Amino acid sequence: MNHNPFADADAEWSDEEELIPKSRRKTQYVPPQVRVTAVAQEDAWSSGSQSPSPNRLSVNASPLIPPKSPSRPDVRAGSSQDDLVQRFYQVTRERDALRKELQRQSMGPHGIPAHASVVYKSEEKTLIEELHSLRYEIRIWSEDYFGGPPSSRSKRPHMHSARELFGSLTDNYKAYLKHDKDRPLLIQAFIWSKLLQRIFSNLNKGCGYIWAGKLGDRKLRPINDTLRKGIFFPRSSLPHSAHHSLSAVKNEEQAEEYHHWRSMTVNLLVPQIDGKWSPTFDAAPVLKWIRRFSSRLRRKLRPWSTQSLRLGKDQLYTIVSASVALDLKMKRQRADYRFVTFTGGRPNQFWGYGFYDSEMEDIETEDEERGRRVQLSLSPALERCGNANGHVFDQNFILVKADVSCKRLAENRLQSSKRAGTRGGIRGVMSSWNR
């Protein structure tokens, strides 16, 4: 029995169908007389199937018209039969062209189906699992060393003020720092903001490309920025989001070539041999940078810790190392994986915006009222541009929602009144002394 080289074509197309946003399916026109019970994806591609098509017309029903495409004529309900027939043949030709292109991309040398899509799917699953593990480690570290009543370290002089560190994360940072239970939430948000700024974002010089060592700013950044500016538009279509990379595609073919070059370059620089990273350059600067960055984080957060951060030095080093490894694995993929953050009324205001259920998840599950506004963003969302095989870069898909908190903490008025009385008493004593 001969082997069918196109046996995996339907499975590959089902992956494309899963990538279509759900919002687009709602735009399809369904006649009121026709009741669609199920949509079978395989029936659209197998001509020998005996199951009835969901688009079959009834006696008194108008035809089911797919969403309008720029390449198709303007055909609406009630159009003439010739127009409908013409559009039917155009849709059929587009379907056949897409099928041939999909089969061509799925074929390897000598007409043998390539199984690269299976590898990319497993890599995406691994990325999501490692992201959840990183979130868990950050949460546990924050709860272990910043939960509970404050210690005497809070009375020591601070190298950085609380407003300087946490002012961009929430306007209610004072209440979080005084709260024994919710203080770790603010620490989580701070750690993620620094990881995004220094490791996962390559927007500013000296940020990103940590896994590349000295090759990052010297070699990779100039050529990468030059290529992206010619292929992508700045991300300005969503005012509530602030992406750390260019997003909107100008040319689909150039975008595919660019991401193929990017993925191949990273895999050549840091190949994976027997499950271990084997960089082709000196990796000593990478390890040195991780140690220095971890030390700086500990010094900044030390005044608000409830235990000695020397005990958690190794855990923090592991968190930073895992972040660098996750960024490297994201850059190895043909699809464009990146983290998404959201802003309020100002560019550096990461709070005060509306809650979007499709992109965010509120950790306070009991509060489900409408019109909620995010008070604190704990961790960013993970987004993929294009599919796992490196095609269709004009669409974005949220893989992991952002963890946010919409609960507004109330400040401790008792402590504030005591402080106010103390200051007033000192001023009264000083004024009486001057008299």
Q: Tell me which of 252 and 99 has the higher pLDDT.
A: 252
> Looking at the domain assignment, is residue 424 inside a domain?
no
* Residue at 421 is within a domain: no
Q: Are residues 214 and 290 in the same domain?
A: yes
Per-residue CA distances from 322 to 189, 314, 406, 415 (Å) = 17, 12, 29, 40
Q: Which of 76, 106, 136 is the last residue of a domain?
A: 106
Asked, for residue 178, whether it belongs to a domain, the answer is yes
Domain count across the chain: 2
Per-residue pLDDT tens over the stretch 5-38: 545 444 444 444 444 444 443 443 344 443 434 3
Indicate whether 117 belongs to any domain.
Answer: no
Total residue length of the chain: 435
Asked if the structure places residue 376 within a domain, the reply is yes
Domain shared by 90 and 199, yes or no? no
Beta bridge pairs of residue 277: 272
- Please tell me whether residues 140 and 94 are part of one structural domain: no
Position 122 scores a pLDDT of 60
Same domain, 153 and 209: yes
User: Quick one: 201 and 249 in the same domain?
Assistant: yes
User: Does the residue 338 lie in any domain?
Assistant: yes
Listed residues 106, 135, 153: the one ending a domain:
106
| pTM attached to this predicted model | 0.66
219-266 tens-digit pLDDT: 898 888 888 776 765 544 333 444 434 456 677 888 888 889 999 999
Of 144-148, 205-209, 405-409, the poorest mean pLDDT is in 205-209
The per-residue b/e assignment along 65-89, b for 16 or more CB within 10 angstroms, e otherwise, is beeeeeeeeebeeebeeeeeeebee
One-letter identity of residue 410: A
Contacts of 230-234 with CB under 8 Å at 24 or more apart are 230/254, 231/255, 231/258
Q: Which domain does 271 fall in, by range?
A: 122-413
Are 20 and 161 in the same domain?
Answer: no
Stretch 101-125: mean pLDDT, rounded? 60
Highest mean pLDDT: which range of 70-84, 139-153, 203-217, 311-325: 311-325
Judgement on whether residues 129 and 19 belong to the same structural domain of the protein = no
Residues 176 and 317 in one domain: yes
Cβ-count burial 323-341 (b if 16+ within 10 Å, e if not): bbebbbbbbbbbbbbbbbb
Whether 83 and 179 map to the same domain: the answer is: no
Per the domain annotation, does 405 fall within a domain? yes
| 369 vs 77: CA distance, rounded Å | 39
435 assigned to some structural domain? no
Domain match, 290 and 332 both? yes
Shared-domain flag, residues 33 and 157: no
Q: In 107-203, where does DSSP find H-type helix?
A: 116-146, 162-166, 173-178, 183-195
Torsion angle of C-alpha atoms 147, 357, 246, 94, degrees rounded to 10? 150
In this structure, the answer to whether residues 388 and 298 fall within a common structural domain is yes
How many Å apart are CA 190 and CA 399, to the nearest integer?
Answer: 22
